[in-house]
């Protein structure tokens, strides 16, 4: 037991004890305990040091909840060799030299106490290298000073191999303060706190890549990319459910006209990201950074939480990330640097204004809730005769209410079944007019955009399909492959082309013009590639195409399997094949939903499909086939392969094919044909212009130059 713990709690009855000055190392140890409460608080200081050092990558390794080992590696500026001897002394800092600096300091810790404190309560080692140095230097510290690695060894810094930056290793934290050690919780709880600190700093520093893992574990528990954006980092760390409801607000002191920002010590600015009323957590998640330090302010928390009380159901709470910048002059500098609770000038007024800002945004937001999906009606999807008859009856009276081909609308309009929404249950049941929504009545032959969205609503502008932020290496490599495989000229041709016409619909051939050349292209092949790329582009963040009512997966797969001629090359019965495919998909429901917006209910009904392109509805005729193929065609064992093959299948499903079946009595073929052509010209080609990174392979079969004006001139000149 250490000395301070063995002191008697009350004086001996025989009389007062003599007053003795505590030994300095004990004073330091007590002081250290005030700063470093637990592994997570040590880590917080170390992360701040790394950020101060300009690191863009911070990797944390932990053993036993940080009690055994806490290691943080950064790629910051490093520490000069000459500074190493005094690094862990108290009040040594590179960040402060005069008192007036103290009030202007914007870096994190600023009193040079963190490393000293750590060296008093744990074994501290440092490996560091500056750019100027040719090798790294390794040192060990105890009680604020340099020591040898083992007793009797030289305390001089030892040269070693290492990258630019600093690695700090803290071992056996609190080994000499048993009370502190025993106050700690289980190592898993301490680890959870460590993860919490890393997570929060990662959100606040989206440009810096963070990782955190247990020593010896091959997997990272946290991993963020560098140069990301706050929204994306929040999504990565707190999940899609938080990120999709995230709203952003700003508040600040209004500076008087002509006044320079820096002139006013009372100036402040706050940025808040918080979830709308659609998100409800059990406990409030509150990240508060003041001047880039993670702090606590119960008053601020209460005020912010109060804003949500009227809009959230009882017992639920929001996610709030708040970053407040205040002039350092108005922060109470006498507050201990590691004290997480802070006080600052005009606290009440600032808190009130921030809360007001959140409330305004929240109010505006809840008035215009937006639903990011389209609804597709699928009544009577199973193969019963009755339902298909009923469906036909319904189709007629809803044609004029046909909204589904609009881009995702701000509100979900209840819809009845339209023929193009049907899932046909057998190949014979196909009606060609259901292939594309634009075939109805007078609209079918029109190329006027305004008539396409139905009479009731003006057609909204096509929304930009944004690239989702995704950090899975598999997806990133798929994206890189697209960029790498891009053929520059072909992409430019498709970007800038003028559409000439469809020359052979059955063979999916169109002609486009670029500059002085004409090209014959296979638009189905190009569309398939584009849909594949749109899939990769929106990975993990698809809008949803809702199916209403949700058709049963099993029946759809059954339809496709029945239609396939599998008997010849499979030992399994058709039912067994269906079972197998259904169970593959059911097993991966969660993944399919999260990554691909393919929602399958527990009962096995398909609620939604990913919406690859606004304004474009794939033909549900192909849905059974698509679902069936997911079984055998997708490589479910390897992540990258799985995503790639799934998205290929999805693209195939979306690609308009040649007419699969001959004319149907109630849908004249020419109307159908016109509709399809319209869709190809006005939806697919414009989308290709925007999104297709044309790979070289398309040049093999799918794009052929058929004429060039200069060459034609030459021909004519000869004539």
Q: Write the CB contacts of 411 (distance below 8 Å, at least 6 apart in sequence).
A: 371
Please pick, from the candidates 64, 74, 406, 607, the single residue that binds ligand ADP as defined by CB under 6 A.
Answer: 74
* b/e sequence 169-202, b meaning 16+ C-beta within 10 Å: bbbebbebbeebeeebeebeebbebbbebbbbbb
Q: Would you give the distance in Å from CA 685 to the centre of its chain?
A: 29
Closest distance to ligand ADP from the beta carbon of 237 (Å):
23
DSSP 452-488: TT-SSSPPPPPPP-PPPP---HHHHHHHHHHHHHB-H
User: What are the structure tokens assigned to 573, written together?
Assistant: 């019965």
Closest distance to ligand ADP from the beta carbon of 126 (Å):
8
Q: Which stretch binds ligand ADP (CB under 6 A): 77-85, 265-273, 488-496, 589-597?
A: 77-85
Q: Does 87 bind ligand ADP (CB under 6 A)?
A: yes
Closest distance to ligand ADP from the beta carbon of 107 (Å):
7
Interface with ligand ADP (CB under 6 A), residue total 23
Residue carrying structure tokens 């809702």: 546
> Given the complex with ligand ADP, which of 92 and 125 has the nearer CB atom?
92
**Residue 264 contacts residue 253 (beta carbons within 8 Å):** yes
Residue 574: CB atoms within 10 A of its CB come to 14
Closest distance to ligand ADP from the beta carbon of 334 (Å):
15
Please pick, from the candidates 33, 41, 45, 627, the single residue that binds ligand ADP as defined by CB under 6 A.
Answer: 45
Q: Which of the choices ligand ADP, Mg ion, none does residue 93 contact, using the CB cut-off of 5 to 8 A by kind?
A: ligand ADP
Residue carrying structure tokens 């009193």: 111
> Given the complex with ligand ADP, which of 115 and 493 has the nearer CB atom?
115
Which of these, 694, 691, 695, 229, lies nearest to 462 by C-alpha position? 691
Sheet containing strand 498-504, edge to edge, reads 498-504, 509-514, 517-522, 703-708
Closest distance to ligand ADP from the beta carbon of 77 (Å):
6
> Given the complex with ligand ADP, which of 79 and 237 has the nearer CB atom?
79
Which of these, 386, 326, 332, lies nearest to 354 by C-alpha position? 326
Task: Kindly report the three-state secondary structure assignment for every residue of 184-199.
Answer: CCCHHHHHHHHHHHHH
Please pick, from the candidates 25, 56, 57, 94, the single residue that binds ligand ADP as defined by CB under 6 A.
Answer: 94
Q: Which of the choices Mg ion, ligand ADP, none does residue 77 contact, using the CB cut-off of 5 to 8 A by kind?
A: ligand ADP
> Given the complex with ligand ADP, which of 86 and 398 has the nearer CB atom?
86
Number of Cα atoms under 13 Å in the Cβ half of residue 533: 23
Q: Write the CB contacts of 701 (distance below 8 Å, at least 6 apart in sequence).
A: 522, 525
Closest distance to Mg ion from the beta carbon of 274 (Å):
30
Q: Which stretch binds ligand ADP (CB under 6 A): 85-93, 173-181, 278-286, 424-432?
A: 85-93
> Given the complex with Mg ion, which of 337 and 604 has the nearer CB atom?
337
Closest distance to Mg ion from the beta carbon of 70 (Å):
15
> Given the complex with ligand ADP, which of 110 and 120 has the nearer CB atom?
110
Q: Which of the choices Mg ion, ligand ADP, none does residue 53 contact, using the CB cut-off of 5 to 8 A by kind?
A: ligand ADP
Closest distance to Mg ion from the beta carbon of 95 (Å):
8
Closest distance to ligand ADP from the beta carbon of 314 (Å):
44
Q: Which of the choices ligand ADP, Mg ion, none does residue 551 contact, using the CB cut-off of 5 to 8 A by kind?
A: none
Q: Does 143 bind ligand ADP (CB under 6 A)?
A: no
> Given the complex with Mg ion, which of 108 and 436 has the nearer CB atom?
108
> Given the complex with Mg ion, which of 114 and 342 has the nearer CB atom?
114
Residues binding Mg ion (CB under 5 A): 49, 109, 114
Q: Which stretch binds ligand ADP (CB under 6 A): 36-44, 88-96, 490-498, 567-575?
A: 88-96
Q: Which stretch binds ligand ADP (CB under 6 A): 92-100, 406-414, 541-549, 604-612?
A: 92-100
- What is the sign of the dihedral through the CA atoms of 235, 240, 241 and 246? positive
**H or E stretch at 179:** helix 178-183
- What is the sign of the dihedral through the CA atoms of 201, 204, 206 and 208? negative
> Given the complex with ligand ADP, which of 49 and 538 has the nearer CB atom?
49
Q: Write the CB contacts of 97 (distance below 8 Å, at least 6 apart in sequence).
A: none
Closest distance to ligand ADP from the beta carbon of 109 (Å):
4
- Helix, strand, coil: what percent of the chain each, to 5? 40, 20, 40
For strands 209-214 and 57-63, give the pairing.
parallel
Closest distance to ligand ADP from the beta carbon of 48 (Å):
7
Q: Is 308 exposed, middle or buried (0-12, 13-18, 19+ CB in 10 A)?
A: buried
Which of these, 544, 539, 536, 527, lies nearest to 687 by C-alpha position? 527
Q: Does 166 bind ligand ADP (CB under 6 A)?
A: yes
Please pick, from the candidates 37, 63, 68, 95, the single residue that binds ligand ADP as defined by CB under 6 A.
Answer: 95
Q: Does 49 bind ligand ADP (CB under 6 A)?
A: yes
For ligand ADP, what does the binding mask look like between residues 96 and 125, x meaning CB under 6 A? -------------xxxxxxxx---------
Spatial separation of the C-alpha atoms in residues 327 and 96, rounded to whole Å: 17
Q: Does 76 bind ligand ADP (CB under 6 A)?
A: yes
> Given the complex with ligand ADP, which of 68 and 80 has the nearer CB atom?
80
**Residue 150 contacts residue 123 (beta carbons within 8 Å):** no
Distances (CA, A) of 278 to 153, 249, 365, 466: 62, 17, 10, 22
**H or E stretch at 711:** helix 709-718
Q: Does 146 bind ligand ADP (CB under 6 A)?
A: no
Q: Which stretch binds ligand ADP (CB under 6 A): 93-101, 395-403, 632-640, 683-691?
A: 93-101
Binding site for ligand ADP (CB under 6 A): 45, 49-50, 53, 74, 76-79, 87, 92-95, 109-116, 166
């Amino acid at each position: 037991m250490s000395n301070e713990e063995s002191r008697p709690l009350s004086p001996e009855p025989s009389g007062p004890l003599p007053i003795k000055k505590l030994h300095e190392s004990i004073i330091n140890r007590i002081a250290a305990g005030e700063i470093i409460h637990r592994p997570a608080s040590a880590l917080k200081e170390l992360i701040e040091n790394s950020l101060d050092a300009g690191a863009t990558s911070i990797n944390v390794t932990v053993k036993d909840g940080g009690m055994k080992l806490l290691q943080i590696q950064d790629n910051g500026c490093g520490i000069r060799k000459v500074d190493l001897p005094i690094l862990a002394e108290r009040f040594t800092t590179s960040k402060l030299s005069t008192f007036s600096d103290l009030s202007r300091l914007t870096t994190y810790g600023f009193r040079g106490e963190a490393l000293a404190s750590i060296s008093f309560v744990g074994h501290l080692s440092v490996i560091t290298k500056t750019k100027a140095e040719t090798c790294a230097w390794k040192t060990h510290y105890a009680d604020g000073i340099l020591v040898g690695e083992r007793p009797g060894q030289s305390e001089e810094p030892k040269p070693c191999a290492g990258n630019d930056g600093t690695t700090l290793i803290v071992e056996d934290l609190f080994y000499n303060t048993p009370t502190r050690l025993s106050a700690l919780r289980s190592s898993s709880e301490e680890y959870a706190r460590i993860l919490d600190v890393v997570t929060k700093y990662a959100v606040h520093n989206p440009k810096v890549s963070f990782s955190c893992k247990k020593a010896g574990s091959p997997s990272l528990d946290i991993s963020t990319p560098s140069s990301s954006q706050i929204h994306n980092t929040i999504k990565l760390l707190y999940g899609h459910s938080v990120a999709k409801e995230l709203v952003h607000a700003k508040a600040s002191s209004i500076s008087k006209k002509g006044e320079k920002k820096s002139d006013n010590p009372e100036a402040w600015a706050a940025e808040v990201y918080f979830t709308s009323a659609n998100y409800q957590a059990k406990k409030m998640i509150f990240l508060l950074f003041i001047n880039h330090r993670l702090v606590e302010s119960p008053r601020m928390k209460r005020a912010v939480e109060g804003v949500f009380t009227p809009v959230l159901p009882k017992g639920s709470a929001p996610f709030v990330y708040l970053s407040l910048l205040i002039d350092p002059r108005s922060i109470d500098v006498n507050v201990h640097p590691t004290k997480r609770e802070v006080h600052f000038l005009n606290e009440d007024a600032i808190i009130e204004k921030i809360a007001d800002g959140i409330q305004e945004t929240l109010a505006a937001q809840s008035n215009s809730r937006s639903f990011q999906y389209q609804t597709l009606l699928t009544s009577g999807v199973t193969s019963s005769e009755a339902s298909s008859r009923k469906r036909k009856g319904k189709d007629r009276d809803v044609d004029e209410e046909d909204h589904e081909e609009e881009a995702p609308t701000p509100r979900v309009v209840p819809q009845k079944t339209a023929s193009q929404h049907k899932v046909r249950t057998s190949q014979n049941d196909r009606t060609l007019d259901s292939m594309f929504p634009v075939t109805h009545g007078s609209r079918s032959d029109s190329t006027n955009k305004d008539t396409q969205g139905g009479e009731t609503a003006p057609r909204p502008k096509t929304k930009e399909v944004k690239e989702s932020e995704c950090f899975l290496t598999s997806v990133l490599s798929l994206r890189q492959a697209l960029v790498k495989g891009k053929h520059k000229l072909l992409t430019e041709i498709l970007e800038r082309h003028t559409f000439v016409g469809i020359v052979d619909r059955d063979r999916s051939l169109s002609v486009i013009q670029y500059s002085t050349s004409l090209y014959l292209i296979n638009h189905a092949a190009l569309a398939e590639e584009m849909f594949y790329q749109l899939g990769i582009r929106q990975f993990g963040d698809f809008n949803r195409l809702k199916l209403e009512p949700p058709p049963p997966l099993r029946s759809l797969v059954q339809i496709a399997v029945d239609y396939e001629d599998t008997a010849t090359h499979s030992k399994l019965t058709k039912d067994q094949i269906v079972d197998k495919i259904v169970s593959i998909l059911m097993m991966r429901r969660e993944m399919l939903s999260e990554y691909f917006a393919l929602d399958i209910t527990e009962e096995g009904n398909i609620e939604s499909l990913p919406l690859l392109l606004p304004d474009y509805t794939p033909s549900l005729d192909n849905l059974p086939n698509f679902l069936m193929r997911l079984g055998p065609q997708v490589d479910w064992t390897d992540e990258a392969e799985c995503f790639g093959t799934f998205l290929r299948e999805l693209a195939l499903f979306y690609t308009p094919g040649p007419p699969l079946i001959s004319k149907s009595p109630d849908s004249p073929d020419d109307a159908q044909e016109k509709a399809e052509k319209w869709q190809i010209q006005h939806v697919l080609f414009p989308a290709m212009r925007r999104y297709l990174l044309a790979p070289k392979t398309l040049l093999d079969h799918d794009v052929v130059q058929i004429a060039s004006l200069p060459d034609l001139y030459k021909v004519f000149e000869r004539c």
